Amino acid sequence: MFFILIQIFWSFSILLNAQNSSIATQGHAGTYAVIIGVTKYQNPAIPALQFADRDGHEFYNWLQSGSGGDVPPQNIKLLVNEEATIAAIYQALDWLKEVCKENDKAYIYFRDMVM
């Protein structure tokens, strides 16, 4: 599953960069995020990630704070634990690709290793 997720993110970043290759440094009109935090995978071969779901919630809360940019909750897709299916991740990345326009900021948060 980890390899599939890396392929998804890599493919998505190519698509997003191709669509927004003319982003200037003039600031941004909006900020959007897809946050994925999975503490325990269904596949026992993938080690559990301690606090990954909690870290996802913390990043979500930070984005909504003044320090994080006051990002409205409707501009963030939070997928934790069993909500973070391959289908849900694809849908969230498709949403991000659709809503992001020139000069927007896009965050993709995915904790992928045991710390």
Which tokens sit at 51? 């606090």
Residue 25 lies in a domain: no
Residue 24 lies in a domain: no
27: pLDDT confidence band, cut at 50, 70 and 90?
very low
Residue 69 lies in a domain: yes
Euclidean distance between CA atoms 42 and 35, whole angstroms? 19
Span 39-51, pLDDT tens digits: 888 788 877 778 8
What is the structure's pLDDT at 80? 93
Task: Give the total number of structural domains in the chain.
Answer: 1
Query: What is the reported pTM?
Result: 0.73
More confident residue, 9 or 55: 55
Q: Which domain holds residue 49?
A: 2-12+31-110
Residue 71: CB atoms within 10 A of its CB come to 19
Least reliable range by pLDDT among 13-17, 42-46, 85-89: 13-17
Euclidean distance between CA atoms 63 and 112, whole angstroms? 20
Read off the pLDDT of each residue in 23-28 and give the average, rounded to a whole number. Answer: 40
Which DSSP symbol is given to 46? S
